[in-house]
Amino acid sequence: MSKKGLLIVISGPSGAGKGTICKELLNRNKNIKLSISATTRPPRKGEVDGENYFFTKKEEFEEMIKNDTLLEYAKVYDNYYGTPEEYVIKNLENGSNVLLEIDIVGALKVKAKYEEAILIFILPPSLEELKNRIVGRGTESEEDIKKRYGSALDEIEQAIKYDYAVINYDVKRATDDIEAIIRAEGCKMMRMDKIIKKIF
Ligand code: 5GP
């Protein structure tokens, strides 16, 4: 008997390193499928439609909202971002674990709709380190750095609403922590009871 997959939701402030951790997690675990979001933000250099995002016109996005085909959506930095529901449900039913890398508003909407979702918040090891990482990207103006740093502090206050917090001391250790969470969640009694009844 196959088990339903786990819905893993990862969020964290800009500069916490969640993108790198998600990449490492996906490299290590072929049974985790990344959900590709739809967005109205224009592609950045090097981004590919259908790989990084489904780049969508505002009218198309609003049509998806109207037709209720999104598991959740949110407006982040003046653009819409949303998770197409069908891909997520299909893979969970097939027993694959599904990873969403989305903002806090979206993550809390997912939890309200799908209680079993596992919410993991990635934190930087210190505020000093967070600032260094935001500055270290070298792409943002002084004003942008201040804005990102300010909103990172606001976001960290929301971490308390998540199921787990993982501190990114280094990518390997943070990914190990997430794997440990996934493994323990898979053994929870509510996920195992049908299998146990069948065997015993
Ligand atoms: P970026 O534009 O830098 O790729 O993403 C900006 C923010 O939007 C990030 O915090 C990212 O996690 C979030 N995001 C990406 N996809 C989704 C989505 O489908 N739903 C929600 N709610 N947030 C998303």
* Predicted confidence (pLDDT) at residue 2 exceeds the cutoff of 70: no
SS3 state at 68: coil
Tell me how far the alpha carbon of residue 62 is from its chain's centroid. 22
User: pLDDT per residue over 105-161, tens digit each?
Assistant: 999 999 999 999 999 999 999 989 888 888 877 666 788 788 888 888 898 999 999
Average pLDDT, integer, range 74-97: 94
CA 200 – CA 194 distance, rounded (Å): 10
Q: What residues pair up with 165 in beta bridges, in sequence order?
A: 121
Closest ligand 1 atom to Cα of 11 = 12
Chain CA centroid to CA 176, Å: 17
pLDDT of residue 140: 67
Distance 128 CA to ligand 1 centre (A): 24
Q: Is 83 in the pocket of ligand 1 (CB under 6 A)?
A: yes
Q: What is the pLDDT of residues 46-84, one digit of tens each?
A: 999 999 999 999 999 999 999 999 999 999 878 999 999
Mean pLDDT of the chain: 93
* Measured distance CA(144)–CA(14) in Å, rounded: 12
